[in-house]
A and B are shown apart, each in its own frame.
Chain A
Amino acid sequence: DAKTTQPPSMDCAEGRAANLPCNHSTISGNEYVYWYRQIHSQGPQYIIHGLKNNETNEMASLIITEDRKSSTLILPHATLRDTAVYYCIVRVVNAGNMLTFGGGTRLMVKP
Protein backbone atom coordinates (compact mmCIF):
# COMPACT_ATOMS: atom_id res chain seq x y z
CA ASP A 1 0.00 0.00 0.00
CA ALA A 2 1.14 3.53 -0.74
CA LYS A 3 2.41 5.63 2.15
CA THR A 4 0.50 8.74 3.20
CA THR A 5 1.66 11.99 4.81
CA GLN A 6 -0.64 14.12 6.97
CA PRO A 7 -0.01 17.13 9.21
CA PRO A 8 0.10 16.00 12.85
CA SER A 9 -2.45 18.52 14.06
CA MET A 10 -4.91 21.21 12.93
CA ASP A 11 -7.37 23.58 14.54
CA CYS A 12 -10.73 24.65 13.19
CA ALA A 13 -13.38 27.04 14.47
CA GLU A 14 -16.78 25.54 15.19
CA GLY A 15 -19.16 26.03 12.27
CA ARG A 16 -16.39 26.58 9.76
CA ALA A 17 -15.19 24.09 7.16
CA ALA A 18 -12.33 21.82 8.19
CA ASN A 19 -10.00 20.94 5.32
CA LEU A 20 -7.67 18.05 6.09
CA PRO A 21 -4.90 17.38 3.54
CA CYS A 22 -3.20 14.12 2.70
CA ASN A 23 -0.27 13.42 0.40
CA HIS A 24 -0.01 10.03 -1.28
CA SER A 25 2.46 10.64 -4.10
CA THR A 26 3.24 6.92 -4.63
CA ILE A 27 -0.38 5.85 -5.03
CA SER A 28 -0.92 3.28 -7.76
CA GLY A 29 -3.78 3.12 -10.22
CA ASN A 30 -5.85 0.53 -8.37
CA GLU A 31 -5.52 2.02 -4.90
CA TYR A 32 -8.42 3.84 -3.28
CA VAL A 33 -8.16 6.70 -0.81
CA TYR A 34 -9.98 6.04 2.47
CA TRP A 35 -10.61 8.32 5.40
CA TYR A 36 -11.32 7.13 8.92
CA ARG A 37 -11.52 9.01 12.19
CA GLN A 38 -11.05 8.02 15.79
CA ILE A 39 -12.80 9.93 18.51
CA HIS A 40 -11.07 9.65 21.85
CA SER A 41 -10.72 6.03 23.00
CA GLN A 42 -13.31 4.71 20.55
CA GLY A 43 -12.80 2.37 17.61
CA PRO A 44 -12.03 4.04 14.26
CA GLN A 45 -15.03 5.07 12.17
CA TYR A 46 -15.23 4.98 8.39
CA ILE A 47 -15.91 8.38 6.81
CA ILE A 48 -15.54 8.20 3.03
CA HIS A 49 -13.48 6.72 0.22
CA GLY A 50 -12.77 7.42 -3.45
CA LEU A 51 -10.70 6.35 -6.44
CA LYS A 52 -10.33 9.41 -8.65
CA ASN A 53 -13.61 11.28 -8.65
CA ASN A 54 -14.65 13.63 -5.90
CA GLU A 55 -17.06 12.04 -3.46
CA THR A 56 -19.61 13.39 -0.99
CA ASN A 57 -21.72 11.74 1.67
CA GLU A 58 -23.63 12.87 4.72
CA MET A 59 -20.45 13.21 6.76
CA ALA A 60 -17.88 14.77 4.45
CA SER A 61 -16.54 15.48 0.98
CA LEU A 62 -13.39 14.01 -0.53
CA ILE A 63 -11.48 15.96 -3.14
CA ILE A 64 -8.79 14.01 -5.03
CA THR A 65 -6.35 15.87 -7.29
CA GLU A 66 -6.27 14.98 -10.95
CA ASP A 67 -2.88 13.27 -10.64
CA ARG A 68 -4.20 11.45 -7.51
CA LYS A 69 -1.08 12.34 -5.56
CA SER A 70 -2.98 14.18 -2.87
CA SER A 71 -6.47 14.56 -1.46
CA THR A 72 -8.44 16.72 0.96
CA LEU A 73 -11.16 15.68 3.35
CA ILE A 74 -13.67 18.45 3.93
CA LEU A 75 -16.01 18.62 6.92
CA PRO A 76 -18.31 21.41 5.74
CA HIS A 77 -19.52 22.67 9.12
CA ALA A 78 -17.28 21.35 11.87
CA THR A 79 -18.78 20.79 15.30
CA LEU A 80 -17.12 20.10 18.63
CA ARG A 81 -18.02 16.42 18.16
CA ASP A 82 -15.76 16.31 15.09
CA THR A 83 -12.71 16.68 17.34
CA ALA A 84 -10.81 13.47 16.58
CA VAL A 85 -7.76 11.96 14.89
CA TYR A 86 -8.33 11.63 11.15
CA TYR A 87 -6.52 8.93 9.20
CA CYS A 88 -5.92 8.95 5.46
CA ILE A 89 -5.22 5.47 4.09
CA VAL A 90 -4.62 4.25 0.56
CA ARG A 91 -5.19 0.62 -0.31
CA VAL A 92 -6.30 -1.79 -2.92
CA VAL A 93 -9.90 -2.87 -2.47
CA ASN A 94 -9.55 -6.49 -1.52
CA ALA A 95 -11.52 -8.32 1.10
CA GLY A 96 -8.36 -9.73 2.65
CA ASN A 97 -6.39 -6.51 2.59
CA MET A 98 -5.81 -4.85 5.92
CA LEU A 99 -5.69 -1.13 6.68
CA THR A 100 -2.34 0.44 7.52
CA PHE A 101 -2.81 3.33 9.91
CA GLY A 102 -0.23 6.09 10.07
CA GLY A 103 -0.09 8.90 12.59
CA GLY A 104 -3.12 10.78 11.30
CA THR A 105 -4.11 14.41 11.88
CA ARG A 106 -5.43 15.44 15.27
CA LEU A 107 -8.23 17.91 14.52
CA MET A 108 -9.28 20.19 17.34
CA VAL A 109 -12.55 22.02 16.76
CA LYS A 110 -12.74 25.10 18.98
CA PRO A 111 -15.79 27.08 20.03
Chain B
Amino acid sequence: NAGVTQTPKFQVLKTGQSMTLQCAQDMNHNSMYWYRQDPGMGLRLIYYSASEGTTDKGEVPNGYNVSRLNKREFSLRLESAAPSQTSVYFCASIGGMGYEQYFGPGTRLTVT
Protein backbone atom coordinates (compact mmCIF):
# COMPACT_ATOMS: atom_id res chain seq x y z
CA ASN B 1 0.00 0.00 0.00
CA ALA B 2 1.93 3.02 -1.29
CA GLY B 3 -0.69 5.62 -0.28
CA VAL B 4 -0.54 8.73 -2.50
CA THR B 5 2.25 8.88 -5.06
CA GLN B 6 3.28 11.82 -7.23
CA THR B 7 5.52 12.13 -10.25
CA PRO B 8 7.83 13.79 -10.95
CA LYS B 9 9.45 14.84 -7.66
CA PHE B 10 11.26 17.78 -9.24
CA GLN B 11 10.76 19.68 -12.49
CA VAL B 12 12.21 22.78 -14.10
CA LEU B 13 10.28 24.40 -16.93
CA LYS B 14 10.82 27.42 -19.11
CA THR B 15 8.07 30.01 -19.37
CA GLY B 16 5.44 28.87 -21.85
CA GLN B 17 6.22 25.16 -21.64
CA SER B 18 3.53 22.71 -20.67
CA MET B 19 3.59 19.70 -18.39
CA THR B 20 1.36 17.31 -16.50
CA LEU B 21 1.79 16.37 -12.85
CA GLN B 22 0.66 12.86 -12.08
CA CYS B 23 -0.99 11.64 -8.89
CA ALA B 24 -2.24 8.19 -7.96
CA GLN B 25 -3.69 6.64 -4.80
CA ASP B 26 -4.19 3.00 -3.97
CA MET B 27 -6.58 3.41 -1.04
CA ASN B 28 -9.80 3.29 -3.09
CA HIS B 29 -10.61 6.86 -2.07
CA ASN B 30 -13.35 8.76 -3.85
CA SER B 31 -12.08 12.32 -3.40
CA MET B 32 -8.78 13.72 -4.62
CA TYR B 33 -7.23 17.18 -4.41
CA TRP B 34 -4.45 19.34 -5.81
CA TYR B 35 -2.84 22.01 -3.61
CA ARG B 36 0.03 24.38 -4.13
CA GLN B 37 2.32 25.75 -1.45
CA ASP B 38 4.46 28.79 -2.03
CA PRO B 39 7.52 29.40 0.17
CA GLY B 40 6.55 30.28 3.74
CA MET B 41 2.85 30.00 2.98
CA GLY B 42 0.03 27.61 3.78
CA LEU B 43 -1.52 25.28 1.24
CA ARG B 44 -4.03 26.61 -1.28
CA LEU B 45 -6.49 24.40 -3.11
CA ILE B 46 -6.24 24.45 -6.91
CA TYR B 47 -8.81 21.84 -7.99
CA TYR B 48 -10.53 18.87 -6.47
CA SER B 49 -12.51 15.86 -7.58
CA ALA B 50 -15.21 14.71 -5.19
CA SER B 51 -15.68 11.48 -7.12
CA GLU B 52 -14.68 9.83 -10.36
CA GLY B 53 -15.99 11.86 -13.29
CA THR B 54 -16.32 15.17 -11.43
CA THR B 55 -13.93 18.06 -10.94
CA ASP B 56 -14.36 21.46 -9.32
CA LYS B 57 -12.33 24.62 -8.93
CA GLY B 58 -10.69 25.49 -5.68
CA GLU B 59 -9.22 28.75 -4.47
CA VAL B 60 -6.56 29.27 -7.19
CA PRO B 61 -7.55 27.41 -10.40
CA ASN B 62 -6.33 29.91 -13.01
CA GLY B 63 -3.63 28.53 -15.29
CA TYR B 64 -4.38 24.90 -14.49
CA ASN B 65 -6.52 22.07 -15.78
CA VAL B 66 -7.21 18.70 -14.21
CA SER B 67 -8.33 15.26 -15.30
CA ARG B 68 -9.76 12.56 -13.10
CA LEU B 69 -8.65 9.70 -15.28
CA ASN B 70 -10.18 6.99 -13.09
CA LYS B 71 -10.75 6.43 -9.41
CA ARG B 72 -7.01 6.07 -8.74
CA GLU B 73 -5.53 8.89 -10.81
CA PHE B 74 -5.90 12.66 -10.78
CA SER B 75 -3.59 14.72 -12.98
CA LEU B 76 -2.82 18.44 -13.00
CA ARG B 77 -1.81 20.17 -16.23
CA LEU B 78 -0.06 23.46 -16.77
CA GLU B 79 -0.73 24.46 -20.38
CA SER B 80 1.63 27.44 -20.50
CA ALA B 81 3.83 27.65 -17.43
CA ALA B 82 4.54 31.03 -15.83
CA PRO B 83 7.12 31.98 -13.17
CA SER B 84 4.20 32.64 -10.77
CA GLN B 85 3.50 28.91 -10.86
CA THR B 86 6.83 28.12 -9.23
CA SER B 87 5.69 26.22 -6.16
CA VAL B 88 5.46 22.86 -4.44
CA TYR B 89 2.42 20.91 -5.57
CA PHE B 90 0.75 18.39 -3.29
CA CYS B 91 -1.83 15.84 -4.25
CA ALA B 92 -4.14 14.39 -1.60
CA SER B 93 -7.02 11.97 -1.25
CA ILE B 94 -9.70 11.43 1.35
CA GLY B 95 -11.62 8.32 2.25
CA GLY B 96 -15.32 7.65 2.62
CA MET B 97 -15.61 8.83 6.21
CA GLY B 98 -13.81 12.08 5.43
CA TYR B 99 -11.74 12.04 8.56
CA GLU B 100 -8.19 11.89 7.27
CA GLN B 101 -6.70 13.45 4.19
CA TYR B 102 -3.61 11.67 2.93
CA PHE B 103 -0.98 13.71 1.13
CA GLY B 104 1.63 12.77 -1.41
CA PRO B 105 5.30 13.75 -1.08
CA GLY B 106 4.98 16.75 -3.40
CA THR B 107 6.35 17.93 -6.74
CA ARG B 108 8.77 20.83 -6.63
CA LEU B 109 8.27 22.91 -9.77
CA THR B 110 10.43 25.81 -10.87
CA VAL B 111 9.46 27.93 -13.86
CA THR B 112 12.22 30.15 -15.23
Residues of A within 8 A of B (CB): 32, 36, 41-46, 49, 87, 93-104
Question: Which of A43, A93, A100, A102 is close to B98, meaning CB atoms less than 8 Å apart?
Answer: A93
Query: Closest CB of chain B to A103's CB: distance in Å?
Result: 6
Question: Which of B42, B48, B96, B100 is close to A102, meaning CB atoms less than 8 Å apart?
Answer: B42
Question: Chain A binding site: helix, strand, loop or mixed by DSSP?
Answer: loop
A103 to B35: give the CA distance in the assembly, Å: 15
Category for how many chain B residues contact A: 20 to 34
As a 0/1 sequence over residues 61 to 77 of chain B, the CB contacts with chain A under 8 angstroms (1 = contact) are 00000000000000000
Query: Closest CB of chain A to B28's CB: distance in Å?
Result: 12
- Other A-B pairs, 7, CB within 8 Å; known A43-B103, A43-B104: A43-B92, A44-B90, A95-B95, A98-B33, A101-B35, A101-B44, A104-B42
A43 to B48: give the CA distance in the assembly, Å: 17
A64 to B3: give the CA distance in the assembly, Å: 30
Q: Are A96 and B50 interface neighbours, CB within 8 A?
A: yes
Provided the pairs A42-B105, A43-B90 are in contact, do residues A93 and B99 lie with their beta carbons within 8 angstroms?
yes
